Amino acid sequence: MTEFVYLYRGYELPASPGEMQKKTAKWMAWLKDLSDKGHLKSLGEPLQPGGKVVKGTKKQVIDGPYAEAKDVVGGYSIIVARDIEQAVEFSLECPIFEDGGSVEIRPIGQIELGDGY
C-alpha cells in the first residue's frame, strides 16, 4: 500500500449559509466513507489563503502565494491506496468537482527497497 496526498485546489465557495452547510456535509460524508473503508491516513488540514514565500539565495520574503484563485491549494488529506489508479478512483466522488476545483494526487515519496536496506 502507498500513501498519497490529495491537494485540493481552486474551488468556488458556496454563496449562502444554507449551501455552505450542504457542501460541508457532503465533504464530511465523502471523507467518512474513505475513512470507514480504511483508506484515510490523515484527515489533513485546511490551508488559509495568503502567507509568505521565501525564495532565492537572498532568501527574499514576499507576500504570497500570488497564484490565481484556481491554483491556490485550500487544503490536503493523506490517503492510503494500492496504487495511483486506486488513489484516482477514490478521488472521483470528491465534492470539489461540483465547484470547479481539482484534486492533485501525489504519491508520498517513499521508495520501497525491501528489508535489506
Partner 1 sequence: MDIEEHFFRHEFGRIVATLTQLFGVGNFALAEDVTQDAFCRAMETWKLRGLPKNPSAWLMATARNRALDILRREHTAIVSEPELTRFLESEWTLVPTVEEAFSAHAVKDSQLRMMFSCCHPRLSEDAQIALILHILCGFNVKEIAQAFVSSHAAIEKRITRAKKILAGSTKLFNLADADFPSRLSSVLQALYLLFNEGYHGSSPDAVRIDLCQEAMLLMNLLIGQPALVTPKSYALAALMYLNAARLPTRLDGSDNLVSLFEQDRSLWDHNLIAEGQALLNLSASGTELTKYHIEAAIASMHTDATSNEDTDWKQIVSLYDMLMAIHPSPVIALNRAIAIAQLDGPERGLQEIRVIHDLYRLSSYPFYPATLGELELRRGNYPVAKANFSTALSLARNPMERNFLQRRIDTCKKANVLNVINNYSE
**Whose Cβ is closer to partner 1: residue 28's or residue 53's?**
28
Q: Does 15 bind partner 1 (CB under 8 A)?
A: yes
Burial degree of 4 (CB within 10 A; 0-12, 13-18, 19+): buried
Q: Does 16 bind partner 1 (CB under 8 A)?
A: yes
Q: Does 45 bind partner 1 (CB under 8 A)?
A: yes
Cell numbers standing for residue 28: 464530511
- In the shown chain, the binding pattern of residues 19 to 38 toward partner 1, with x for contact by CB under 8 A and - for none, equals xxx-xxxxxx--xx------
Q: Does 101 bind partner 1 (CB under 8 A)?
A: no
Burial degree of 94 (CB within 10 A; 0-12, 13-18, 19+): buried
